[in-house]
Chain A
């Protein structure tokens, strides 16, 4: 089992640039989650999908953030334009039954916006 795969592991970009983070969930899992982790705020949920359908995006900080899940094996989180305050570690997680099933996390993408 390869686990949840995220790419890239590190991303350094300049303010105003577009950033795309990628995630491949565990095969067979039907729920996918994007979290952001900072020292100040800890792990915060941004958006989650069930069966490729976005269920709740109320955690997305601004319209600059968007997420898609075109199929069961791939999701993207896009930030356009990026700002320095977006610097954080972004985690993707998947589970086979939301809410009461453990989440399986990828190793994250560390984003630095200068």
Chain B
């Protein structure tokens, strides 16, 4: 059973068309939810960590939010350079390593 599920698998947006990516998780006692961006041929690059329900973090056109069961990555007025795969990850318990979702492939068309 997947502990971290991301949706949609792929998303195609026009430049300027805002949308949201979803990450749902089934761990108890969340000890952080991590968002990463991955460009083709590169390793994942850290974006945000969220620790408690209601927390929000922003970076340029991206805003991450967290509830008790899921996180959203909101993309406002995206640009083609926002095209990438976005991954979320959680530690299953304690100080265990991160478990990743399979990601959402975002394409932003000019």
Residues of B with C-beta under 8 A to A71 = none
Q: Which secondary structure dominates chain B's binding surface?
A: loop
Q: Does A93 contact B (CB under 8 A)?
A: yes
Q: Does B103 contact A (CB under 8 A)?
A: yes
Q: Does B8 contact A (CB under 8 A)?
A: no
Interface stretch, picked from B40-48, B54-62, B75-83, is B40-48
Interface range for B: 20 to 34
Residues of B with C-beta under 8 A to A103 = 34, 44, 46, 97-98
Q: Considering the chains assembled together, what is the distance between the CA atoms of A107 and B32 in angstroms?
A: 24
Q: Are B97 and A105 in contact, with the CB atoms below 8 A?
A: no
Q: Does A72 contact B (CB under 8 A)?
A: no
- With CB as the reference atom, state the residue of chain B lying closest to A92: B43
Q: Are B41 and A99 in contact, with the CB atoms below 8 A?
A: no
Q: Are A42 and B103 in contact, with the CB atoms below 8 A?
A: yes
- With CB as the reference atom, state the residue of chain B lying closest to A42: B102
Closest CB pairs A-B (n = 9): A105-B43, A99-B95, A42-B102, A43-B100, A102-B46, A99-B91, A107-B43, A105-B44, A98-B95
Q: Which residues of A contact B (CB under 8 A)?
A: 4, 33, 35, 41-43, 45, 48, 56, 91, 93, 98-100, 102-108
Q: Which residues of B contact A (CB under 8 A)?
A: 31-32, 34, 41-46, 49, 87, 89, 91, 94-103
Enumerate 19 A-B pairs (CB-CB under 8 Å) in ascending A order.
Answer: A33-B97, A41-B102, A42-B101, A42-B102, A43-B87, A43-B89, A43-B100, A56-B97, A98-B96, A98-B97, A99-B32, A100-B31, A100-B32, A103-B34, A103-B98, A104-B46, A105-B43, A107-B42, A107-B43
